[in-house]
Structure 1
């Protein structure tokens, strides 16, 4: 018999509209503290932002069957999404108000199989270097015993955001 999973999410434009109005760190703290809704992807994959500080972000996920690929383990795209979130938010946490970023690349190395038996995993992202126009971040995906399951790096382009209209 088929399995079912139902979930809900908030309007993504509420959060998107707040980008750049405050520092990246303050923006992420607003998401962490639920003053802004989490993005829909976090509901889709059932992961959460757990920690954020200057140049650092941590996301967690408990693997479920809904994350599986055809060979009975968590799909690499789930790993990549969790790592990409940690990488991007580590970069975003360093940005002043009025600045944005976009990923230029993502390189993921899958080191260990993940399944429901793995238990909760965390993606820990940190900034390696931030210049005026680009930033480099790295992240590791670890299990509850801090064993590294995957590693990723990302380069991001930094840019000024257009002014937001006055309310």
Structure 2
């Protein structure tokens, strides 16, 4: 006699649903041709160029852009929760990585790219739906020829620090 494995939840209790759509990510890649990182980030902010799919998936948006600095906004949602009833650390890390990387992107000339080499995150406070909107600010601390160092802060509406990150980015020269 074999028995079927059982789980505590065999059917969703009070299940919710979310649909998701995104724009072709290559539209942004193609729009970047011949444009500086600052120009493309400004166009993403202004809706001229589609935001990357990850921004649509999670629900964050680019709200401020200047050379070496960016700011994203996010309203926490239930679908972001971990098993302990707060926003998952991966959401924090995604926002922090995006802010740090996009800050570096604003410093790049046309035809030059970047990629994150590392991300170090410090989690300081929990985030829930009741926390309200948050902002994530990224700043370039140092930009060299081959690497850049950036930092990012995730802040609540009262300006309290929820998480902090540093990131090293590799600067990728023009494609040959």
TM-score (norm 1): 0.95
Question: Is 1:51 the equivalent of 2:64?
Answer: yes
Unaligned runs of 5+ in 1: none
Matched residue SS, 1:17: helix
Structure with max Cα Rg = 2
> What corresponds to 2:169 in structure 1?
156
Name segments (4+ residues, structure 1) moved above 3 Å: none
Please report the RMSD computed on the Cα atoms of aligned residues, expressed in angstroms: 1.0
> What corresponds to 2:53 in structure 1?
40
| Separation (CA, whole Å) in 1 of partners of 2:137 and 2:19 | 28
Unaligned runs of 5+ in 2: 1-13
> What corresponds to 2:26 in structure 1?
13
| Separation (CA, whole Å) in 2 of partners of 1:20 and 1:69 | 39
| Separation (CA, whole Å) in 1 of partners of 2:47 and 2:109 | 21
TM-score (norm 2): 0.90
Count of residues in correspondence between the two structures: 163
Aligned-pair CA distance for 1:20:
4.8
> What corresponds to 1:142 in structure 2?
155
Aligned-pair CA distance for 1:18:
2.7
| Separation (CA, whole Å) in 1 of partners of 2:93 and 2:174 | 26
| Separation (CA, whole Å) in 2 of partners of 1:16 and 1:70 | 36
Aligned-pair CA distance for 1:35:
1.1
